[in-house]
Amino acid sequence: MPASQRVVGATLLLFLLLQALFLASATLIDDADEDPEELEELLAIDEEVGQNGDGGGAHSRTSEAEMLRRAQRIVLELGNENAKKVIDTNEAVLLLGYAPWCPRSAELMPRFAEAATVLREMGSSLVVAKLDAERHGKAASLLGIKGFPTILLFVNGSALAYRGGFTKEEIVIWARKKTGVPVMRISSPSAAEELLRQHQMFIVGLFDKYEGPQYEEFVKAAITDNEVQFAETVDINIARLLFPDVGIEKKFLGLVKSEPERFENFEDNFEEQNILQFIEYNKFPLVTKLTELNSAKVYSSAIKLQVFIFAAADDLEDLHPLLQDIARSYKRNIMFVYVDNAEDNLAKPFMTLYGLESEKPIVTAFDNKIGSKYLLESDLTRNTLEEFCNGLLHGTLPPYFKSEPIPNEKGMIEKVVGRTFDALVLDSTENVFLEVYTPWCIDCKSTSKQVEKLAKHFKGLENLKFARIDASSNEHPKLQITNYPTLLLYLAGDKSNPVKVSKKSSLKDLIAFINKNVKPDVDSGNSDKKQDKKDEL
């Protein structure tokens, strides 16, 4: 795999991973410091107001803002004075480190507060707290908060980095799993109905008894997994309320999702890694819509072949049935991801990576095992998409390398693009001095001036030509460049091993280098012309 592909792919992945982990802007709710001893009294007042209201008037209905303020009061505010005491005197503390100016902190804080409310209602003894890490720098340093936002779980004073998602549900699941409740035990129909209401996705396990090696593997998988709620029961009738296709077997495991492909049956041996792999390959919908919240999960999926469909929301409505049908045929082998073109933060990095701009639906693909990317270059139809996916699955699809349009103009320094690299550089009978640059490169401008002087000096040498390529807009499998500018001399007798030229060389050194490596054509009569130009310089 070309190094340039690896760098570009890794940069895109890192860029989008950071977008998913640190979310877009929202309004920060600024809470005053509160004494933990006042917490119960404040909550009791809230409850009393709710119970004694007029029952139907505007004042009796709790607005979303009021609910959020109440949730925020459940989150204990820490400072330099009380942070260490709270951490040391509580068995488990879930802490959000934030900064008031940080928009990502602002987006996360309401979800964090809502998670605290849910944990409290579930009877969790977990203390949920927050710390203005900028205002209380001493406490932030003591607790190991180095960026914003940061979530840490302290168990008996020891910190555990947060590895869950960033929705209310995901925060609750992760916190419960890491504080001794990895599995919800379902013992009644009402509990089963509540599970269905609360969770869009969960694992259900049916066991004859809550013991034995297979059950132990189930629990280990529940502890290891950071995202999905696990539930267990010994009652087959309750299991069938959650997963209707449960048979008469004494043990069963299935994944329930809130989508048309709702039920996934586990058919492997009850071992931790098998269960975790089953979740990884089945937790996504047939067609996943890419969002800032789920992008990190999409890119890190165990399904390494991924097809991305870029389209406007209206186009997707028409395409969705087709995409669902084809995705069903490649289930667990290819992940299908839809990206709304209107979401610039998500769509634009891909378009830049491919060098594309289009209002029509675009289909691309990645093989994350080998770092290759692909493009459906024909119109999107059932036949073309099926052929594209089949080629991706069987490794017969040619990789895509972006290229600018083939230029018409010619000059003293020839412009090379991805599509002309073979013809103008590798297949050319001439020696080729190639400048590889990018528009954003700081040193490229001065190097380009040197190359222009060099090209002018050797203008009469017919077996040598000068060329340049913009590596930000053009790719080629045999152009493995990671630093810019890069100067390469492709000798006519050995185009497979270009000679790298130091970009720090003086003009005099560059001239000497070319004179040494490129011999003039004796029959061309150009030796005198070359010498005359050298004298002029």
Q: Which two tokens stand for residue 335?
A: 């992940």
Q: Which of 94, 95, 102, 186 is catalytic?
A: 102
Euclidean distance between CA atoms 176 and 522, whole angstroms: 82
Distances (CA, A) of 295 to 16, 19, 177, 194, 277: 7, 8, 23, 29, 19
Tokens 């400048």, residue? 435
Q: Which of 441, 461, 469, 471 is catalytic?
A: 441
Strand duo 305-311 + 362-367: pairing: antiparallel
Distances (CA, A) of 435 to 422, 451, 513: 15, 8, 15
> For residue 310, how far is the Cα from the chain centroid?
16
Torsion, Cα of 82, 86, 88, 93 (10° steps):
-140
The reply to whether 444 belongs to the active site is yes
Q: Are 226 and 174 in contact (CB under 8 A)?
A: yes
Q: Is 167 helix (H, G, I), strand (E, B) or coil?
A: coil
Q: What is the largest CA-CA distance in the chain?
A: 106
The reply to whether 102 belongs to the active site is yes
Apex 471 CA angle, 470 and 476, nearest 5:
115
Query: Phi and psi of 342, rounded to 5°?
Result: -75, -20
Strand partners, 334: 305
Q: Hey, what amino acid is at 498?
A: P
Strand partners, 94: 128, 153
Query: Phi and psi of 413, rounded to 5°?
Result: -115, 115
Query: Phi and psi of 97, rounded to 5°?
Result: -95, 125
**Ramachandran quadrant class, 157 (left: phi over 0; alpha: psi -120 to 50; beta: rest):** left
Distances (CA, A) of 249 to 207, 226, 253, 411: 9, 28, 11, 77
Q: Is 226 helix (H, G, I), strand (E, B) or coil?
A: coil
DSSP for residue 419: G
Q: Which of 316, 444, 467, 487 is catalytic?
A: 444
| Three-state DSSP string of 427-441 | CCCCEEEEEEECCCC
> What residues act catalytically?
102, 441, 444
